[in-house]
Amino acid sequence: MPKVVDNIQIGPMVWKMRVEIPRLVKKAKAGQFVILRVNETGERVPMSIAGLDRENGLLTIIYQVVGKTSALMTTIPDGGEISDTVGPLGVPSHVDNWGTAILVGGGIGIAPIYPIAQAYKEAGNKVITIIGARSKEFIFYEDEHKGVADELHICTDDGSYGHHGFVSDVLKQILDSGEKVGMIMAIGPVPMMRVVANLTRDYKVPTWVSLNPLMIDGTGMCGGCRVQVGDETKFACVDGPDFDGHKVDFDTLTKRLGAYKEQERAAMKHFIAEPGCRLAPAVEGFKYPDEK
């Protein structure tokens, strides 16, 4: 079983886990993902790759506590184990030299744009990175992004850090400034990716988004991850996870992501109620976004 080297909290409900899995790390490329299963009764969950330490064979995953599986992940101690890790899955992000490329990362999406920024930079691009979150304590990876990006913009919805506003506001300013941008890649919550794609459509700048629908096997076998892209139905696991943001049907994606909302909540409640639950720190104050 893969060893969890360390697993630390880096923000409210945001955790960073490093897993030792050299064979996978050797093969993985920016933009791909892995599927994890925490324990014998666990579900299979896709996770973006948030960093690859090839020298030490370490895979970095950044995750947010949104339900039972992610809550369970926080209980794995440093030096502990995770039941299964499979990957690398999906098609690596398309990397080319477009001159200037913009990476937009929102919320937990701040993580997976980091290895893609590295790849864009290595390909010779001028890399402009925009990261944003609700407030200051949700911003992470600032130093990492600083180390790669030619320009780094930070936004918070409440103005507690950096630019007061959304990532799309900063993106619009850059596009309006006359900077010639060859490629935009946006990863984050679906509403953010939708706003970015709608904005850049008018500017006719090619825009990729990385989608994270529900999955089981991750090899094309189940079709659970299907997304509507233009006239076609695509499987995010084998055709994606990156798609042309101007063609993605975000509405269907949003609905499908909520397919098991009630069951997920029941599972979380059931879990929190378990006697001897070691999760107190991770689930204390846990709320769903629409809960008061």
Partner 1 sequence: MTKDLKNLPKKERMEIPRVKMPEQDPTERIHNFREVPCGLNEEQAMLEAARCIECKKQPCVSGCPVEVDIPGFIKLILDKDFAGAARKIKETNALPAVCGRVCPQEEQCEMLCTLGKKFKPVAIGYLERFVADYERENNLVQAPKVAPATGKKVAIVGSGPAGLTVAGDLIKLGHKVTIFEALHKPGGVLVYGIPEFRLPKKIVQAECDAMADTGVEFENSTVIGKMDTIDELFEQGFDAVFIGTGAGLPNFMGIPGENLIGVYSSNEYLTRSNLMRAYDFPNNDTPIIHGKNVAVLGGGNTAMDSVRTSLRLGADNAYIVYRRSEAEMPARIEEVHHARQEGVQFHLLTTPIRFIGDDQGKVKAMELLKMELGEPDASGRRRPVPIEGSNYIMDVDLVVVAIGNSSNPLIPRTTPGLDVNRWGNITVNEETMETSRPGVFAGGDIVTGGATVILAAGAGKKAARAIHKYIMEKK
Give the nearest distance from C-beta 249 to partner 1 in angstroms.
Answer: 8
Kindly state the smallest distance separating residue 243's Cβ from partner 1, in Å: 14
Residue closer to partner 1 (CB basis): 51 or 67: 67
Q: Does 255 bind partner 1 (CB under 8 A)?
A: yes
Show the site string, 232-251: x = touches partner 1 by CB under 8 A, - = not.
Answer: -x----x------------x
Q: Does 54 bind partner 1 (CB under 8 A)?
A: no
Instruction: State the nearest-atom distance from the C-beta of 135 to partner 1, in Å.
Output: 30
Give the residue from 238, 205, 13, 9 showing the smallest Cα distance to 103.
Answer: 205
How far is the C-alpha of 190 from the C-alpha of 224, rounded, in Å? 18
State which residue, 51 or 90, has the beta carbon closest to partner 1: 90
Would you count residue 42 as binding partner 1 (CB under 8 A)?
yes
* Single residue of 252, 272, 277, 286 touching partner 1 by CB under 8 A: 252
Buried b (16+ CB within 10 A) or exposed e, 115-145: bbbbbbbeeebbbbbbbbbeeeebbbbeebb
With CB under 8 A as the contact rule, the residue among 66, 174, 222, 272 that binds partner 1 is: 222
As measured in angstroms, the least distance from the Cβ of 18 to partner 1 is: 18
Q: By rule CB under 8 A, what count of residues binds partner 1?
A: 44
List the Cα angle 166/169/173 in 5-degree steps: 150
Q: Which of 3, 10, 37, 135 touches partner 1 by CB under 8 A?
A: 37
What is the C-alpha separation between 164 and 157, in angstroms, rounded?
Answer: 6
Say whether residue 267 binds partner 1 (CB under 8 A): yes
Whole-number Å distance between alpha carbons of 64 and 10: 10
Q: Which tokens in the block code for residue 28?
A: 């993985």
The CB-of-64 to partner 1 minimum distance in angstroms stands at: 17
Could you say whether residue 123 binds partner 1 (CB under 8 A)? Answer: no
Q: Residue 66 corresponds to which tokens in the numbers above?
A: 């949104």
User: Is there binding between residue 223 and partner 1 (CB under 8 A)?
Assistant: yes
Binding letters toward partner 1, positions 63-102, x by CB under 8 A: -----xx-------------xxxxxxx-------------
Whose Cβ is closer to partner 1: residue 186's or residue 237's? Answer: 237
- Burial label, 103 (beta-carbon count in 10 A; 0-12, 13-18, 19+): buried
The b/e string for 169-180 (b: 16+ C-beta within 10 A; e otherwise) is bbbbebbeeeee
Radius of gyration of the chain (CA): 18
Whether 152 and 145 have beta carbons less than 8 Å apart is answered as yes
Binding stretches for partner 1 (CB under 8 A) = 23-24, 27, 37, 41-44, 68-69, 83-89, 216-224, 226-228, 233, 238, 251-252, 255-256, 258-260, 263-264, 266-267, 270-271
